[in-house]
Amino acid sequence: MRLYATVAAGGFRRHATYRVATLAGLFTNTVFGFVFSYTYIALWAERPQLGGYSMSDALAYVWIGQALITVCGLMGGGFEDELIERIRTGDIAVDLYRPADLQSWWCAANAGRSAYQLLGRGAVPLLIGAAAFGFTLPDGLSGWAAFLLAVALGSFVSFALWYLVAMSAFWLLDGQGVVQVAWLSGLFFSGMLLPLTVFPGALGEIARALPWAALLQVPADVYLGRYGDGRGLLRAYGFQLGWLALLLAAGRAAQAAATRKVVVQGG
């Protein structure tokens, strides 16, 4: 356990060194936040209460989305490129020799990265957006705590998803195609472009049931207090935990199969 705590701290520190990149990312998130905010204002002015959100809720949703892009890996987990490269070049063999589990190792490193991004690229856009548009805030300290827990779970679900994507490189070697498909699904089904509650009919129901909903839609709805009493909140966490368990298990199975393959090939 101490090992993984060290790995997580390393992940945090490593990303904390890219200060200019963090600032550049912050700037980009803020610009997109403004552009999306104005289009949402136009949309909600035409259709108040669209998707069950007030205008103030919708604006909060925009900035939560911008804040969570890197934290919950909506458009890429932030580690899969490196992992795929290690698989492609064969460096992964070194990782497999380590007296640590591959999945847990990367999970810990990603948790550190995620925590840094929450401070570096998550908090500030949310503050700027709140100052510029004065949107809905969570219900007191317990509301913030509930939101942060949902964000943490979302970040782990994202890890599990992207780890599974990276594992495909063992078979395909060139992971680019799969990464792009995953990126595309994340972009659309996380609800980053438009809240999943606005998606019509069956498309909306499917989108809300897919794992990507756990990355942004669920944390945002927890933030907005849309799950009501404790039981609703537990259901939301249950949804995230369910996908987390399923995806982690799938990733583990893929890893086991891949390891056997590596041994056979590596000879």
Partner 1 sequence: MAEQLLSEGATTGRLRTGDPYRSGPGDALRTYRMVAAMWIRSTMAYRTSFALTLATSFCVTFFDFVVILLMFGQVQGLGGFSFAEVAFLYGTTGTAFGIADLTLGSLQRMGRRIRDGSLDVFLLRPAPLLAQVAADKFALRRLGRVLQGLMVLVWSLVLLRDEVAWTWGKALMVPGMVACGAVIFMAVMVLGASALFWLQDAAEVTNSFTYGGNTLLQYPPTVFAQDLVKGVVYVVPLAFVNWLPALYVLGRPAPAGVPSWAAFAAPLVALVCCGLAGLAWRAGVRSYRSTGS
Q: Which of 5, 23, 206, 234 binds partner 1 (CB under 8 A)?
A: 23
34 or 105: CB nearest partner 1: 34
Segment lying near partner 1 (by CB under 8 A), choices 45-53, 59-67, 93-101, 214-222: 45-53
Q: In this structure, which long-range contacts are made by residues 25-29, counting pairs with CB atoms below 8 Å and at least 24 apart in sequence?
A: 25/70, 25/120, 25/121, 26/120, 26/121, 26/124, 26/125, 29/66, 29/67, 29/69, 29/121, 29/125
Q: Does 31 participate in binding partner 1 (rule CB under 8 A)? A: yes
**Is residue 181 part of the contact set for partner 1 (CB under 8 A)?**
yes
200 binds partner 1 (CB under 8 A): yes
93 counts as binding partner 1 under rule CB under 8 A = no
Residue 49 is a binding residue for partner 1 (CB under 8 A): no
Site membership for partner 1, residue 194 (CB under 8 A): yes
Candidate ranges 5-13, 34-42, 79-87, 89-97; the one touching partner 1 (CB under 8 A)? 34-42
Which of 48, 52, 134, 177 touches partner 1 (CB under 8 A)?
177
Q: Which two tokens stand for residue 232?
A: 């609703």
Residue 41 is a binding residue for partner 1 (CB under 8 A): yes
Q: Does 42 bind partner 1 (CB under 8 A)?
A: yes
Could you tell me the smallest distance in angstroms from the CB atom of residue 195 to partner 1? 10
CB 183 within 8 A of CB 100: no
Q: Which of 5, 13, 14, 21 binds partner 1 (CB under 8 A)?
A: 21
Q: How far is the CB of 141 from partner 1 (least distance, A)?
A: 33
What is the C-alpha to C-alpha distance for residues 222 and 146, in angstroms, rounded to an integer? 7
CB 184 to partner 1: min, Å: 5
Q: Does 145 bind partner 1 (CB under 8 A)?
A: no
20 near partner 1, rule: CB under 8 A: yes
Residue of the chain from 82, 91, 139, 174 that contacts partner 1 (CB under 8 A): 174
The whole-angstrom separation of Cα 61 and Cα 194 is 9
Among 2, 46, 140, 267, binds partner 1 (CB under 8 A): 46
Name the site residues for partner 1 (rule: CB under 8 A): 18-21, 23-25, 27-28, 31-32, 34-36, 38-39, 41-43, 46-47, 50, 174, 176-177, 180-181, 183-184, 187-188, 193-194, 198-200
